[in-house]
Structure 1
Amino acid sequence: MGWIETEHGGYAVTLDGTHVLCRNAAGRTLKQVPPKLKDDAAVVRLRQLAEWLERHARECREQVDTWLVRSLPVPVALLARVWPDPAWQAALRDLVVAPPAADGSADMARAGFLRDADPQKGAGIVDLDGDSQRLACETVLIPHPVLLEDLDDLREFALELEVEQGVEQLFREVWRRPDDAGGLHWRAYENGKFAQLRHATARAVALGYRVRGGEAVCPLVEFGRPLEAAYWLGDEYPDAESLTGSLEWRDRHGRQVPLGEVGPVAWSEGERMAALVYAGRVTGDEEGELR
């Protein structure tokens, strides 16, 4: 955008991405906005715009992540509508997309890296042979990486194409359910020690998860079935020491789902949540420092 004159003689400001720049009367761009311009109307408006742009970009990424995690079909017309918006395009560009197959799964034979979305021409991709194509379909799926049989090959191909995904897909860490998993509770992330319960809950919220009733919760949809993964954090006072508990999955009625019946996406995303929160626990060295 262009430079906007401030109320303080000679100074002008502009927005570079989400960063406010300032230049002086000599036309030199300064390293930072001078303190005396902090309350200038133009500076305040630009900072408010920058905050909105950051929030908008975050919301776009969160929405696309929801489409991926919940295996939701996305209308190509919707992609075309939002594509001109740089924030939406940054979240969508280079994701692997595929038309739905007859059984509702992703037709990976026609998959490719999303490069364009046009209301007349449809979704433009670079297919897995490196050729530019247009998908003749009304909706596309953004497959979760745990569903991709050739994930390692796709990752290598993405590196060759110098793909940078705004939303983690191909390089999203995945977890697979062990064949012998049984019962109702997955205990791999129990006994993670947090000096204060609020440290665990704040970490879960910062990672984008809900906290409810002493648990970190991740809403999921698999094969059209609403589920949630729930990881116990504790229900003591916020400043009390806390140990994490087990991870479980529940259906829409709150009934626990046997581990052997948890689908691949729900398992991967549930364990991902637990692993990310658990990684913030107090380690052995830190325990010594606390004493």
Structure 2
Amino acid sequence: MGWLAAGEGYEIALVDGKVAARSTSGRSAGKQLKTLPKALRDHPEVERLRRFADWLDRHAASCVAQVDAWMVSALPVPSAVLGEVWADEAWQAALRDLVVVGAVGEGPDATGFLRDVSEDGELRVVNLDGETVRMSAETVTFPHPVLLPDLAELRDFAVELGVAQKVEQIYRPTWDKPSDPNQRSSATSEFAGGRYPSRFALAARAESLGYRVSGGYAVHRIRSGGRMVEARVWIGEPHREDDSVTGGLSWSSGGRHLPLDKVDAVSWSEGMRMAAALYAGRTGER
């Protein structure tokens, strides 16, 4: 975005997401000012740019949220859609450097770090051999890290490439579901007992992390394996005024409790991630 006239002797523009000004006359003409002049603070053009900056922030956040949902659910995304949105800087930032997987049977180059997408949906990716290759597939997926068999190798390679993902994927904390039923039972209470000064503080922590609070639970909705799963952590009865502690973790689907052996790998990992994040914000020990 270029510089726009605002008031007499000034121009304004968005610089790093904030409204900046520069003088158009005198010895400092053309130089960006450190702060907005008082005469511009309530100027209509400044207010318009501020509102536009707020919209850009919301748009960027919605792009990240959508791509995160694609990853957690492993939904196939049409390559043509990626080609349409790639020109948008917010979409590009959310998608760039994610591990993308092409259709089954496309060969060894069907997995890599996404670097570019053409208008017609052809992807350019860096594969594990360090080669930039083209991927033509009708649909692609951005797998949840718990589903990536080469996760350790991808993490090491990402460090070499200097990968910085806007959507947390390969560095996302993961929990593998134990095979022993007794271990699974103990895992669901691993992060219980995290003490907060109030139920309000615990609920605020959950909401700040992007989780929903419903009744006495912090809830994470996960679309996985073609169904909607809810991971739930007990946070206490609403309107409590005394301290509160995190409770156990459970899963449900379609309003019914899910036995632990029916919880899929992604829902397990995401539920444990929520429970661990809530426990990490505690102010007292068990």
Match of 1:30 in 2: 33
Q: Within 5 A, what are the aligned runs for 1:241-260?
A: 241-252=243-254, 254-260=255-261
Q: Are 2:153 and 1:153 aligned?
A: yes
Q: Are 2:67 and 1:64 aligned?
A: yes
Aligned with 2:123: secondary structure?
strand
Match of 1:199 in 2: 201
Contact 2:6 2:45 survives alignment (8 Å): yes
- Distance, in Å, in 2 between the alignment partners of 1:265 and 1:219 is 11
Give the superposition deviation at 1:272.
0.5
Structure 1: where are the runs of 5+ without partners?
Answer: none
Match of 1:240 in 2: 242
- Further displaced range: 180-189 or 67-76: 180-189
Q: Within 5 A, what are the aligned runs for 1:140-219?
A: 140-180=140-180, 181-182=183-184, 186-219=188-221
Q: Are 2:3 and 1:10 aligned?
A: no
Q: In structure 2, give the amino acid aligned to 1:128.
A: L
Aligned with 2:66: secondary structure?
helix
- Distance, in Å, in 2 between the alignment partners of 1:146 and 1:109 is 20
Give the superposition deviation at 1:121.
5.6
- Distance, in Å, in 2 between the alignment partners of 1:75 and 1:140 is 6
Aligned with 2:257: secondary structure?
coil
Give the superposition deviation at 1:108.
7.0
Give the superposition deviation at 1:261.
2.5
Q: Compared with structure 1, are the counterparts of its residues 108 and 206 closer, same or farther at alpha carbon in structure 2 (3 Å cutoff)?
A: farther
- Distance, in Å, in 2 between the alignment partners of 1:273 and 1:34 is 45
Pick aligned residue for 1:46 from 46, 49, 58 = 49
Task: Give RMSD over aligned pairs.
Answer: 2.1
Q: In structure 2, give the amino acid aligned to 1:243.
A: V
Q: Within 5 A, what are the aligned runs for 1:130-149?
A: 130-149=130-149
Match of 2:279 in 1: 278
- Distance, in Å, in 2 between the alignment partners of 1:53 and 1:278 is 33
Give the superposition deviation at 1:61.
0.3
Aligned with 1:142: secondary structure?
coil
Give the superposition deviation at 1:59.
0.4
Q: In structure 2, give the amino acid aligned to 1:237.
A: H
Q: Within 5 A, what are the aligned runs for 1:54-133?
A: 54-101=57-104, 110-120=110-120, 122-133=122-133
The count of residues paired between Structure 1 and Structure 2 equals 280
Match of 2:231 in 1: 229
Contact 1:146 1:264 survives alignment (8 Å): yes
Q: Percent identity?
A: 45
TM-score scaled to structure 1, two decimals?
0.90
1:24-45 per-residue CA deviation (whole Å, 9 max, x = no partner) reads: 3422322222344221111101
